[in-house]
Chain A
């Protein structure tokens, strides 16, 4: 159970360490691997670390202050584990088990990625650790790891499913302190941003794919259209302007009446009830004036603009013909 928690902690931590490069992230994970190995009680260690997110925040602050070394030192501080008092280097079999931890993390994330890529596929079966090829560097015959088979976690409920991860290139064996010839798969890099918008909305190539034609004018139709529709359009615009002016006049009359009523209420009235009534009439007149004024402006904008656009559209349709560019 402790091993599972450790594996999950490292997996979650590797997802959060996006501000580090692959090599730096690998070093931090190796450091935490050493810390977990040196810890006398891993449950207490996990309690001291609280959560991968909290560790990530602390590491981020330390990294911004002093770089990777500061982050590694901070990792040791957070854990409270004395690495100098760590037990002697483990045996080759133990090293293989230690290497399997990172291999299992990598395989678990890879399986999560594959299952996310294949939605119809069934949930990934637990991958036994024996499937990870581990070959010792020395000619000592490789021993299987029967002591602690490392089952990869079923990734079905893992949040990694919702985040498509891409496994990074394997880290060379020289950068791994564990002496094993097998390349340790690097922790998958979580993409920080994935563009899920359809490309056709922003892709200029999609616009270029639409055949662009040229328009050629038909002189006779153009002359006829200008002679006929320019005067008609002008007349139409004049009529619309007159209607708009009438609406503006009504609005002005209403607003003027309201102002007039207000002045009457405060100049020639003696009874309070009459003053209140006159102010009420003034407010009604002002409301109608504001409404008519905006109605006139809206009518002018929409009608005159629409008439001009309609005439131009009609002229383009009648007087121009489209010639393919090719």
Chain B
């Protein structure tokens, strides 16, 4: 168990660190969160997925 915890922790920590570095580098080089959100809504029907999630939560509670 300890070995698995160590391996999973190392993988997660490495990915987290790399992701944080990528975000910081993207922000430094002129990245924009608003542009990313616009691209997301333009390429995918996010409202449809949000509606599905709301229905699922409504059936549970």
Using a CB–CB cutoff of 8 Å, the interface residues on chain A facing chain B are 260, 264, 267-269, 271-284, 286-288, 290-291, 294, 298
Contact = CB atoms under 8 A, between A and B. Distances in A.
Nearest to B35: A274
A280 B23 contact: yes
Enumerate the 5 nearest inter-chain pairs by beta-carbon distance, A residue then B residue, closest first.
A280-B22, A283-B19, A277-B26, A273-B31, A287-B15
Given A271-B30, A272-B29, A294-B8, A287 B19 contact: yes
B43 to A, nearest CB: 4
A274 B29 CA distance: 9
A299 to B, nearest CB: 12
B31 A271 contact: yes
Interface residues of B, number: 33
Nearest to A273: B31
A291 B22 contact: no
A282 B19 contact: yes
Contacts of A291: 8-9, 12
Interface in B8-59: 8-9, 11-16, 18-27, 29-33, 35-36, 39-40, 42-44
Given A280-B23, A287-B12, A287-B13, A273 B30 contact: yes
Contact of B36 (A267, A277, A287, A294): A277
Contacts, number: 93
B24 to A, nearest CB: 8
Contacts of A281: 19, 23
Given A280-B21, A294-B5, 9 more contacts: A268-B40, A273-B25, A276-B25, A278-B36, A279-B19, A280-B24, A284-B15, A286-B19, A290-B15
B20 to A, nearest CB: 7
Nearest to B1: A298
A290 B14 CA distance: 12
Contacts of B22: 276-277, 279-280, 283
A264 B43 CA distance: 8
12 contacts: A269-B36, A277-B23, A277-B36, A280-B18, A280-B25, A283-B18, A284-B19, A284-B20, A284-B23, A288-B12, A290-B12, A291-B8
